[in-house]
Structure 1
Amino acid sequence: MDSKRPSRIFDDWRYCDYPPTDSVVYDEEENLNCLADYRPYDSNTEAMVIAIGGNSRQGVYSHDPEVAYGIFFGPESPRNYECMLDKCVPQTKRLAELRAATVAVDMAREIWSKVPKYNVIILLTDSSYLVDAMNNAIWKWTAQGFRDSNRRPVAHAKVLQRLHNSIQALESAGATIKFWQAGTSYINAAQTLANAALDERMLSETPREMAIEGSWARLDPVLEQFKNAWCRGFLPKRLPGTRREGVASVVETAG
C-alpha cells in the first residue's frame, strides 16, 4: 500500500484476536459503544465503535425486495438510527451498507466535534466488500474516474465517492477511521434496527382491512404473516432510543 494512504482496516491484535463482545463496552455518559482500555498514543484518545448492517425483505405488494439499514451505537442509545432505502434507488444490501457507513461517519463527525477524545472511529461490519472498497479499491476507482478495468462505471459510484470524501475530511482533521470486519452475529443489533424499519414500512403500506380480512392476501405468505401478526395484536415499534431524523446532510440520491 502507498505510504501516503492510511490503512483503514482495524487490525489491532489486542482486540482482533478476540470477539468484539469481549472488548466493546458502553459509555453511558456519551451514549455510545467504545473499546475498553483503548489508549494507544496518549491518555486522551478513545475509540468509538459503531455497528452497521443492512437487511432486505420481499415487498408487501410485489416480489421486489425492500432494503433498510441500521446504525447501532449501543443498548438504549438515543443515537441509534434506522432508515429505509428510497424506492428510487437500487434495493441492494450492498447499497444499504454503503449508505449506513456514510451516515455513521457523518454522525461520528458530529460526536467527535463535541467529544474530542473520541478521535478514533471504528465501523463494525460483516461486509468484506465495504472493507476492501474503502481500504483498497477506492484509490484505484478514484484515479480511474470511478470506472473499472473494463472502463465500465463502478456501481454506486456517487455514494462511494461521498463516503470516501467524508472519511478523507475526517482524516485530514486528525481523526482515524477504521473498518472492523466481524461475523454477522456481532452486528445483529444493527440488523435488528434495519428490520424495525422494514416492519414499519410493512405496517404503513398495508391497509387495516386487508390485514384483518385477508381477502386480498389469500395465498400471499408475506401478507398472511402480517395478517396473523395484526390479529394477535402485535404491532412492531421502533426500538427504544432509535431515531430516523437528524442527519440532514445525507442526500438520498441514486448511487
Structure 2
Amino acid sequence: MNERKESDEVSGPLGSLKPDALATSDAAPRQPVTRDRNTKGDPIRDGTNEAASSSECSDSGDEDEREFYPTLEHDTEDVPLERLVVYNRGDEVFHLQVMDESRSSLLVDTSSLVIYVDGACRWNQSAMAMSSYGVFFGPDSHYNRRGLILPPIPQTSVRAEFEALAAALNHIPSVLDRETAVKRIFIACDCEAVIMTMCWKFEEPVPTSRIRPDVEVADDLRSVQIYAEMLALEEKHGVTIKMWQIPREDNEGADELAKEAIDEELDRWAS
C-alpha cells in the first residue's frame, strides 16, 4: 500500500529545479511536456545506429505504460502542476503529491520517487568533445551523482542523455536500500530521444522514414542494455519505473551537475 502523508511534512511547492534556487524558491514550475497522441513532431536526433523516433507513446494513462503523463493519471490528474513535485528535506528526495480518495486535498505520496537526469557534451561532434551526466535527487542531496562519460563511449550530447539514465538506474538500488517505502519511480528527462526509446521502441518497429541518418547518437545495443537494466531493476526490487518528459528549463538541477563534472575535469587539467 502506498504510504501517503499530509503535504505539510515536506517543503514545497518547487520552483526552478536549479539546486541553489530549490532550497528557497516558492515559484511555480513550468508545465511539463505532454504530447497529444494525434500530433507528430520531428525527432530531436536520430541516426543509423539509433532507433529513437518521435512517434508517440500511448497516452491513455494505463498503469502498464512506460511514459508518465500527470494529467492522465488518476491520482495526479487534478493536482496543480505547480504542486505536483515536492522535496522531502529530511530524506533528501522528491515525491509526487496526489489527490486523496475524496479528491478534496493533496497528500504526499512517499511511495513515489522523482529523479531528474541529464547529459552534457562540451564541443559536441568535434574531436575535443567531452561528455558527462548528472543525476539529481534534490538540492544538496547526498544521493546526487555526476561524472564524466569516458571513451570509447561516443562523445555526443544524445549519447550522454542515455548514459545519464543508465547512471540513475545503477544508483537506484542503493537509494532503495534506505528509501524502503518507494514503489513508484519517475525519471524526469528533457531528451525526447531517450523518452521515445524507453517508452515504445521495444514494443513496435521503428518507422524508417523518421530516422535521420546524418547524426550518430548511440548504438542500438546500448539502448537495449539500458532497457534490460530497467526491467531487471523493476523485477528485483518490486518497483515500477516511468519516464517523464519535462522542458529543458525545468531540468536545471541535473544539467548543473553534468556541467560541473566537465568543469571539474577541465580545472584539473589547468592546474
TM-score normalised by the shorter chain: which range applies?
Answer: 0.5 to 0.7
If the length of structure 1 is used for normalisation, what is the TM-score?
Answer: 0.65
**Aligned partner of 1:127: which letter?**
C
1:31-180 → structure 2 map (5 Å cutoff): 31-37=92-98, 46-58=111-123, 64-140=128-204, 155-173=218-236, 174-180=238-244
Quick one: which of 56, 64, 71 aligns to 1:6? 64
- Structure ID, larger Rg: 1
Q: Tell me, yes or no, if the aligned pair for 2:158 and 2:218 is still in contact at 8 Å.
A: no
Deviations 1:33-92 (A, max 9, x none): 11124789xx98621111111122139xx8622111111000110111111110322111
Task: Give, in angstroms, the shift of residue 111 of structure 1.
Answer: 2.1
1:188-199 → structure 2 map (5 Å cutoff): 188-199=252-263
Residues 148 and 37 from structure 1, CA distance in 2 versus in 1: closer, same or farther, beyond 3 angstroms? closer
Q: Which runs of 5+ in 1 are unaligned?
A: 142-146, 209-255
Q: Tell me, yes or no, if the aligned pair for 2:122 and 2:129 is still in contact at 8 Å.
A: yes
Q: Give the Cα–Cα distance (whole angstroms) in 2 for the partners of residues 111 and 149 of structure 1.
A: 39
Counterpart of 2:52 in structure 1 is none
Counterpart of 1:218 in structure 2 is none
Q: Give the Cα–Cα distance (whole angstroms) in 2 for the partners of residues 52 and 130 of structure 1.
A: 11
Q: Tell me, yes or no, if the aligned pair for 1:52 and 1:70 is still in contact at 8 Å.
A: yes
Task: State yes or no: 1:205 paired with 2:266.
Answer: no
Task: Give, in angstroms, the shift of residue 98 of structure 1.
Answer: 1.0
Residue aligned with 1:118, SS: coil
- Percent same amino acid at aligned positions? 24
Residues 47 and 204 from structure 1, CA distance in 2 versus in 1: closer, same or farther, beyond 3 angstroms? same
Deviations 1:129-171 (A, max 9, x none): 1111011113347xxxxx9969x99942333122111211233
Residues 15 and 87 from structure 1, CA distance in 2 versus in 1: closer, same or farther, beyond 3 angstroms? farther
Residue aligned with 2:114, SS: strand
Q: Tell me, yes or no, if the aligned pair for 1:67 and 1:91 is still in contact at 8 Å.
A: yes
* Structure number with higher helix proportion: 1
